Amino acid sequence: MKTSSEVTAVQETKPIVVALCASAADTRSLLHLLEQLPPRPDTAFILVFQHREALDLNAFDRALRDAGHKLSRIEQDTLLTAGCTYLPDPNVIVSIVDNHFQLRLTEQRFGERGTIDSFLVSLVGDIDGRGISVMLAGTGSDGTLGFKAVKEAGGIAFAEETEESRAGELATSSIPAALADAVLPIDQLAERISASIQQLTSGSASASSLDETESSAVLANIAAVLRNKTGHDFHGYKAGTFMRRVQRRMQVAQIDSGAEYVDYLRTRSGEAQELFNDLLIGVTQFFRDAKEFEILERNVIPKLFQGKTRSDQLRIWIIGCSTGEEAYSFGILLREHMATLEEVPQVQIFATDLDGRALAAARAARYTDAVVRDVGLERLARWFVREGSTYCIVKEVREMCIFSQHSIIKDPPFSRLDLISCRNLLIYLDTELQSGIISVFHFALRPDGILFLGNSENISRHTNLFAPIENRSRIFRRLETHNRILPDFPFTVASPRVEGKLVSTLPARMVEPSLAYRAERFVERYTPAYVIVDDAHMVMHFSGRTGRYIHPAGGAATLNLLQLVHPDLRLDLRSALTRAAEGDSTVHLANRQVEVDGLKISLDLIVEPVKDSSDAARSFFVLFKERESPATELVTAATASRDQYDRIQQLETELREAKDRLQAFAEEAESANEELKASNEEYQSLNEEMQSANEELQTSKEELQSVNEELTTVNGELGLRVQELGRINSDLKNFLESTQIATVFLDNELRVMRFTPASVDLFHLVESDAGRPITHIKSRIAYEELQNDARRVLRTLNSSEREIENTDTGTRYMVRILPYRSVDNFIAGIVITFVDITARKQAETALRESEERFRQFADASSDVLWIRNAKTLDFEYAGPSSETLYGTSVGSRGQSDLRSWLRLISAKDRKEVLDVFRRVKAGARVSHTFRIRRPSDGEERWLANADFPLFDDKGEVHRIGGITSDVTDAKVASERQDVLVKELQHRSRNLLGVVTSLATRTIGRGAPVENFTMRLSALGRAQALLSRSGNDTVEVSDLVRAELAAYVGGNPQRITISGPKVLLTSTQVQNFALALHELTTNAVKYGALKDEAGPLSITWERLSTGDRGKRMALDWIESGVMIAPDGMTRRGYGRELIENALAYALQGRTTYVLGQDGVRCRIELPLR
């Protein structure tokens, strides 16, 4: 938000703009004006012409130079510069945006704003209150909208005086002069423009010249004056807006200080009304904010009519209606929707405003081309009638709208409303006052009523009262609250001592009264009591202290003064009011006696007729003026003799009776007079009707013969119609009987009109029951809600459905109750049908049981049962196990489509899966496997599908069913089995090779077969160890012990076996087992194991040999054994196996040493 210093700086950089608007057909007034307005360094003059093409530019340029002005050319984006005089080119519409000229070619479109209006409206955003618009004669209505916009922005509007303005016809005119701040002759106009420029330059009227306290006090005083002079309170007006309006009026009045303007406002006749009019300037148009009206037309208005009948009312309140465009916009929308309805409710649009001039224009309902530009050609042709240069709203829309002067701040609201439109009014009021008014809206609306606000207004502080019906719209729906209380009126009272803000929105009883208010109450306290009544004697205003003279009669409440006044004054007051009305003069009735609180008081009764203006309605002041003489006590038996007292009592009784009779006679005479007048009018009307009837009878006599002929023809046609209706009735009867549906027809009072034979099974109905209430007829079924349901259907016109059961037979019925509509759409009762749904319910039960069995099966199965649509291949059903199987719920909403499912499948298998679907759609049953990657854990799983087609009645595949199983574990087991088979084959080949080698070496050396057998046994023992381990490895310890156990029973103490846990592979086991076998058999034959010759030590260890990796070393040591010399040098198969074959086959190293005291063998093998 800009500060005041920033605003002042901006204003200093912008020139004062004076827009001189005229017709190019007559430039004399303009040139005369410019001769008196020389160029100024702080002002830019812009000449805006109608019919620019008619201007003789050369001649005008010369004349302008003679007047001291030089024309500056306007081009696109030309900077607006002070000291220049600008003239736009012809056929161009000029506007100002950000202090630069913008040009647009004139378009001959319907509703196109005039040249002057377009320019002045564009000027609004740039003048910052420093603009003056001047309208010279001859421009017609072009400029009216512009004047409104300029004044709304704080600018000044002047107009040249014309014959029309001199004749006082501006109030009903649509020309710009009707909105001008001053209408002056051309000479005075130049002087006034110069003074205004000087005032704007000095800035003396700027609101910034007042501090906050002074500004608040000035505005509070101005608001008080306005309330006293106009009756409207502006204490709730926003201070900034209020000050701009006041500042504008100060500029127009050429007043420099706020205090001076307050005095000027008090003393200057008409200034209060001018300021009042300024505060009420309304900018409106047809269908303003088109998008909002589209929402109304589409979503709101149809709902307003829902449930309403011809006897209902649709009530709409347009607040701040200005000149009526918005009210008629609603009328057009309502009429367009009503044309689509068969039953139309009564529609009332209440359109209110404070501005009486605007209301007069709204009632006239005549608008210019520029105003109706937003209507559209189609609606213009349908809802407007061309009258001269204006368009008039059609009668059927005008009759819907009721225009009235009303203040939302001080006057009670309308009630029972369906919609309230209050657009761009709340923005001018402070927050607290807005809150009070929004509460009024909530009170006035029906439940679910609609509130329509302007684009700059909201209900953010009242979300408990209203809710938006659509995002970003300014249309709200009323919310129901626990209480519905009408706020106090008026909302505000004058408070000149307000600091920092202008208004208190507390109720009047809670705010300290102002000095002016106290003065009014003081005057009323010491002046005679009075009442103001209208021509019909209805009270318009009571003063204080009238209670002594008001004695309301019992019965209905009334404001008729003759029924409210004290009985002792009733006759005199009737006479005085009659004489004052007939003579149009004051009537004074002196010394009238009234009994008040047991005392006789004497008063003068004065009745004076008054009128505000020549065309205003007449009213009467009734003054009750008590006389100065003290009241006397009533004569009693204590102050007078008995005879005097009796006589006085008799006279007073007779006087009261005479007065009562006179009063009765007067009332009877008045009533008789009215009746006589009415009778006279009736007799005159009857006489005229008799004469017309006589003439018509003469004419009718001649027409009777032709009518008789027509009647004969019509009678024949009616006979045919009766026969046709008879056939239709027979058809209908047979139809109802053939359906076997129990149907009962009831009227609006729920009396039986007709029923079908099937109804007898449900109700004890006979033909004579026609006309009896259905509630009086015994039912065979338990349907206690029948009456309530029927009443609800009649009330809402919505059908009702309910399932009931005949407990005796177990038969179930679907009961439908519908409104009975006649051919002319008249609701004549209801129709009740009872449809036997027993078979259907049994089928539904069987289906539910079947579904439950299927659900239990699907839930219990680890496999997934699924169904797909054959066309889209999307899932229609997937069993509960699908989430576990796929890692996501493939059958759920948003994940059931084929594309989402295919993303789970391995790219290698997708083509095959789609090919399977094609085969199944062709009718084949296919089983296949594929891989998926589960999103839940990223694991790859193998799935097996059994897909099969599902056929429809035509034999075509319309769905694909299937069962999916997780076969990952079976797939892994199968692969392991394949590996084991291959490993077995490999081992068998290796073993066979070893056996073959053993046989060849053993038999080839001529060794006995026993040696070969023993070596095969050693291989067998190794294979047995491999089979038992189940993991292709054998521990060295098990291998050693197994080989020793084959030759040495038990565990002799002389054998030592020790070493860590070392595993050998199957390949190592075969060769290592043969090596151990050779060492063992040699030890048994020649070494430590022969006759317990010596100890045997078998140890092994793990070796870490650096770059050679992990290895194992086994030491076989036989001690205390004497080896024969020839044995040391002998090399057999065993030694060759250990030293050569083992090292070759296992990439090991061996040392085998035979010494005199024993055998040492070391075997080193790499470990895997």
Written as one string, the DSSP assignment of 121-174 is: HHHHHHHTT-EEEEE-TT-TTTTHHHHHHHHHTT-EEEEE--HHHHTT-GGG--
Q: Could you tell me the two tokens for 321? A: 């209606």
> How confident is residue 638, by pLDDT bands cut at 50, 70 and 90?
very low
Nearest C-alpha neighbor of 284 from the set 351, 195, 381: 351
More confident residue, 504 or 1031: 1031
- For residue 763, give Cα distances in angstroms to 31, 786, 838: 98, 12, 18
Q: Which residues contact 545 (CB under 8 A, 6 or more apart)?
A: 524, 525, 529
**What's the chain's average pLDDT?**
77
Q: What is the pLDDT of residue 1130?
A: 58
The alpha carbon dihedral of 149, 154, 160, 164 has a sign of positive
* Torsion angle defined by CA atoms of residues 136, 137, 142 and 146, in that order, rounded to the nearest 10 degrees: 30
pTM of the model: 0.42
* Bridge partners, residue 356, by sequence: none
Mean pLDDT within 1044-1051: 72
Show Cβ contacts of residue 1009 under 8 Å, excluding neighbours closer than 6 positions: 1003
Residue 512 pLDDT > 50 = no
Contacts of 797 (CB under 8 A, 6+ apart): 307, 819, 827
Query: Is the per-residue pLDDT at 677 higher than 50?
Result: yes
Residue 1025 C-alpha from the chain's centroid:
83
Please tell me the distance from the alpha carbon of residue 418 to that of residue 316, in angstroms, as a whole number: 6
Structure tokens at 856: 């239990």
User: Rounded to an integer, what distance in angstroms lies between the CA atom of residue 155 and that of residue 251?
Assistant: 9
378 compared with 711, residue with greater pLDDT: 378
Q: What pLDDT is recorded for position 243?
A: 77
Is residue 270 predicted with pLDDT exceeding 80? no
pLDDT of residue 542: 82
* Cα angle: 891, vertex 895, 900; to 5 degrees: 115
325: left (phi over 0), alpha (psi -120 to 50) or beta: alpha
Q: Which residue has the tokens 């081992």?
A: 987
Neighbours of 503 (CB within 10 A): 26
Alpha-carbon distances, residue 186 vs 168, 183, 379, 418, 995 (angstroms)? 18, 9, 42, 52, 139
Using CA atoms, how far residue 75 sits from 54, 80, 119, 971, in Å, is 21, 11, 15, 85
Q: H-helix or E-strand containing 734?
A: helix 642-739
User: Quick one: pLDDT at residue 948?
Assistant: 93
Contact 239, 499 (CB under 8 A): no
* Segment 418-433 mean pLDDT: 85
pLDDT of residue 145 exceeding 90, the answer is no
pLDDT, mean of residues 960-978: 81
Return the higher-pLDDT residue of 472 and 814.
814
Q: Residue range 652-681: average pLDDT? A: 70
In this prediction, residue 508 has a pLDDT band, given cuts at 50, 70 and 90, of: very low
- Under the banding of pLDDT at 50, 70 and 90, the label for residue 636 is very low
Q: List the beta bridge partners of residue 730.
A: none
Chain center to CA of 403: 30
The first and second tokens of residue 865, run together, are: 């049962």
Q: How far is residue 960's CA from residue 952's CA, in Å, rounded to a whole number?
A: 11
Predicted local confidence at residue 926, as pLDDT = 92
Give the span between the Cα atoms of 538 and 766, in whole angstroms. Answer: 62
Q: If phi over 0 gives left and psi between -120 and 50 gives alpha, with beta otherwise, what is residue 514?
A: beta
What band does 1037 get if pLDDT is binned at 50, 70 and 90?
confident
Higher pLDDT, 1134 or 462: 462
pLDDT-derived band at 495 (thresholds 50, 70, 90) equals very low
- The lowest-confidence range among 3-17, 116-130, 933-947, 1110-1124 is 3-17
986 pLDDT above the threshold of 60: no
Mean pLDDT, range 299-325, rounded to an integer: 89
CA neighbor of 925 nearest in space, from 936, 938, 933, 916: 916
Which residue in this structure is represented by tokens 């004969």?
712
How many CB atoms are located within 10 Å of the residue 535 CB?
12
CA gap 266, 222 in Å, rounded: 9
Rounded Cα gap, residues 62 and 629, in angstroms: 87
Please state, in angstroms and as integers, the Cα–Cα distance from residue 1004 to each residue in 203, 419, 989, 998, 999, following that order: 136, 121, 22, 9, 8
Rounded CA gap, 215 and 239, in Å?
9
What's the pLDDT band for 717 if we cut at 50, 70, 90?
very low
- Residue % of the chain over a pLDDT of 90: 6
pLDDT value of position 242: 76
CA distance 1078 to 1131: 12
User: Which is higher by pLDDT, 1012 or 748?
Assistant: 748
Question: Mean pLDDT throughout 913-940?
Answer: 88
Q: For residue 393, report the phi and psi dihedrals to the nearest 5 degrees.
A: -65, 140
The pLDDT of 650-664, averaged and rounded, is 69
What torsion do the CA atoms of 969, 972, 976, 977 make, to the nearest 10 degrees? 60
Question: Helix/strand/coil (H, E, C) string of 202-222?
Answer: HCCCCHHHCCHHHHHHHHHHH
Query: In the chain, what are the domains?
Result: 4-203 (3.40.50.180), 288-478 (3.40.50.150), 527-634 (3.30.450.20), 740-841 (3.30.450.20), 861-966 (3.30.450.20), 1008-1166 (3.30.565.10)
- Is the Cβ–Cβ distance between 1021 and 1043 less than 8 Å? yes
pLDDT at 1014: 75
Q: Compute the average pLDDT of residues 988-1007.
A: 56
- At 411 the pLDDT is 77
| Torsion region of 923: left, alpha or beta (phi above 0 gives left; psi -120 to 50 gives alpha) | left
The answer to whether residue 7 scores a pLDDT higher than 50 is no
Angstrom CA distances, 696 to 691, 716, 742, 840, stand at 9, 28, 56, 69
What is the spatial distance between Cα 126 and Cα 17, in angstroms, rounded to a whole number? 9
Which of 938, 964, 971, 972 is CA-nearest to residue 881?
A: 964
The pLDDT score that the predictor gives to residue 498 is 37
**How far apart (Å, rounded) are the C-alpha atoms in residues 379 and 110?**
13
| C-beta of residue 128 within 8 angstroms of C-beta of residue 7 | yes
* CA distance to 24, 1018, 1066, 1105, 1168, per residue, from 1072 (Å): 126, 10, 10, 21, 15
User: Tell me, what's the pLDDT at 710?
Assistant: 42
Res. 499 pLDDT band, cuts 50 70 90: very low
Query: Does residue 162 register a pLDDT over 60?
Result: yes
Length of the chain: 1168
Instruction: Report pLDDT digits (tens) over 1076-1093.
Output: 888 888 888 878 777 766
Predicted confidence (pLDDT) per residue in 225-269, tens digit: 877 777 777 776 777 777 777 877 787 777 777 777 888 888 787
Residue 944 per-residue DSSP state:
E
Tell me what the mean pLDDT of segment 560-565 comes to.
85
pLDDT at position 133 is: 84
Q: What is the mean pLDDT of residues 293-320?
A: 90
pLDDT tens-place string over residues 567-612? 888 888 888 888 888 888 898 988 888 887 777 888 888 999 987 6
Say which DSSP state 773 is in: B
Alpha helices in 231-270 (DSSP H): 239-253, 258-267
Return the pLDDT at 583.
Answer: 84
- CA dist 409 and 232 (Å) reads 9
In a 10 Å sphere around its CB, with 0-12 CB exposed, 13-18 middle and 19+ buried, how is residue 353 labelled? buried
Q: What is the share, in percent, of the chain residues with pLDDT greater than 70?
A: 77
**Can you tell me the mean pLDDT for 938-963?**
89
Residues forming a β-bridge with 43: 16
Q: How confident is the model at residue 632 (pLDDT cuts 50, 70, 90)?
A: very low
Strand partners, 1115: 1099, 1162
Query: pLDDT tens digits for 1116-1153?
Result: 888 877 766 655 555 666 777 777 777 777 788 888 88
Residues 231, 232, 234, CA angle at the centre, nearest 5°? 145
3-state SS, residue 640: coil
Beta strands 384-387 and 401-405 are: unpaired
Whether pLDDT at 1159 is above 70 = yes
